[in-house]
Amino acid sequence: MRILCDACESAAAIVFCAADEAALCCSCDEKVHKCNKLASRHLRVGLADPSNAPSCDICENAPAFFYCEIDGSSLCLQCDMVVHVGGKRTHRRFLLLRQRIEFPGDKPNHADQLGLRCQKASSGRGQESNGNGDHDHNMIDLNSNPQRVHEPGSHNQEEGIDVNNANNHEHE
């Protein structure tokens, strides 16, 4: 299942901008995010090509279309109808869109792949991208671990807490 661009509503979306809460095709992404300096700072993540549907957690062979928030399970239509009867009908369930996102650190040469996808999309309209595959220069890896800075004389060291070894002891 492909997600359509929220701006033009005709092309397949290739990026998601959290600040705009919008999925955008390559052309609309360039129009929206290249128009001014503030919009160009928005962080965006690439949308992956549609993947195979996840399987139902109950029968394990039919594609799952629903997610039950209470049970924490993905269900096909048949299993959803069997499981959610009586009082369980009040469980909040959501439609699974099965749209994966690509974070910049997930695949090698991710920037090149996104740039090529934009080039292919724009070359059909006679528009060329900048050619260096630098379309996602504002994307960050949300899965990376933050770097922690421990300053000398911090509060933890004053109270005898050894942050590196996780040993707590008091000064005598």
Find the CATH number of the domain harbouring 84.
3.30.160
Residue 26 assigned as binding residue: no
The answer to whether residue 161 sits within a structural domain is: no
Beta carbons within 10 angstroms of residue 32's beta carbon: 19
Q: What is the predicted pLDDT for the residue at 78? A: 92
| CA gap 134, 139 in Å, rounded | 10
The answer to whether residue 159 sits within a structural domain is: no
53 vs 10, more confident: 10
Mean pLDDT for the stretch of residues 13-25: 89
Residue 118 assigned as binding residue: no
pLDDT > 80? residue 42: yes
| Contact indicator for 133, 114 with CB cutoff of 8 Å | yes
Q: Does 94 lie in the same domain as 64? A: yes
Residue 35 assigned as binding residue: no
The answer to whether residue 151 sits within a structural domain is: no
Residue 84 assigned as binding residue: yes
Residue 5 assigned as binding residue: yes
| CA gap 25, 31 in Å, rounded | 10
* Whole-prediction pTM: 0.46
96 vs 27, more confident: 27
Residue 25 assigned as binding residue: no
| CA gap 6, 56 in Å, rounded | 29
Percent of the chain with pLDDT over 70: 53
Mean pLDDT for the stretch of residues 28-32: 91
89 phi and psi, to 5 degrees? -65, -20
45 vs 1, more confident: 45
Residue 59 assigned as binding residue: yes
Q: Does 2 lie in the same domain as 84? A: no
pLDDT > 50? residue 106: yes
Q: Does 57 lie in the same domain as 118? A: no
Number of domains forming the structure of the chain? 2
Q: Does 77 lie in the same domain as 13? A: no
Residue 171 assigned as binding residue: no
| CA gap 142, 134 in Å, rounded | 19
Q: Does 58 lie in the same domain as 44? A: no
Query: Could you tell me the maximum CA-CA distance found in the chain, to the nearest angstrom?
Result: 76
34 vs 136, more confident: 34
Q: Does 40 lie in the same domain as 110? A: yes
pLDDT > 70? residue 75: yes
Q: Does 29 lie in the same domain as 107? A: yes
Secondary structure (3-state) at 67: strand
Q: Does 132 lie in the same domain as 92? A: no
pLDDT > 80? residue 104: no
State the pLDDT confidence band at 51, using cuts at 50, 70 and 90. Answer: low
What range defines the domain where residue 20 resides? 1-50+100-145
